[in-house]
Amino acid sequence: MSAIAKVVVATLVSVFLLAGCAAPGTPPGAMAIRQATIEQITPVQLQSSHHSGIGAVVGGAVGLGVGSLIGGGTGRDVAMILGTVGGAVAGNEVQKRYDQPVAGQQVIVRTASGVLVSVSQPVNPNLRVGQRVYIEGNGEGARVIPQ
């Protein structure tokens, strides 16, 4: 057997051996779904999902655009600056209306393996203590839904 053939065979054997050692799990991008039973439901306040500062940025951009339509020369430059600042302030004030906390619930469930899991999510009136549920997703994206 030639040296190249020996290297190829050794590489293939190594690949198959290492592939057998790979840990099974949820592939990236796949959603994990687990079964559980609700132990406790507690009302909580959830932070708004709006990104802070977006209102000021959008308002400033709109103000800049409007300011650029006014006048010419130095007057136009001043109008653009005032439009940007005024738009940013106005956009920030508008966003504050949407940054109020929303009603939610902390759901504590026990999985089939006995592990307790806590999930905070918007209120789902279809959930009750003792109910069999699914836990969809993981981390901050996890949600408890009825079976």
The CATH number of whichever domain residue 28 belongs to comes to: 2.40.50
Tally Cβ neighbours within 10 Å of residue 119. Answer: 20
- Lookup: tokens for 45: 């306040």
The partner residues of 27 in beta bridges, in order of sequence, read: none
The partner residues of 36 in beta bridges, in order of sequence, read: 111, 133
Integer Rg of the chain from CA: 28
Please state the pTM of the whole predicted model. Answer: 0.50
Model confidence pLDDT, tens digit, residues 14-63: 666 555 555 555 555 555 678 899 999 999 988 765 566 777 788 888 88
What is the length of the chain?
147
Residue 49 carries which DSSP code?
A: S
Please check whether residues 40 and 105 belong to one and the same domain. yes
- Residue range(s) defining the domain that contains residue 74: 54-98
Please check whether residues 136 and 111 belong to one and the same domain. yes
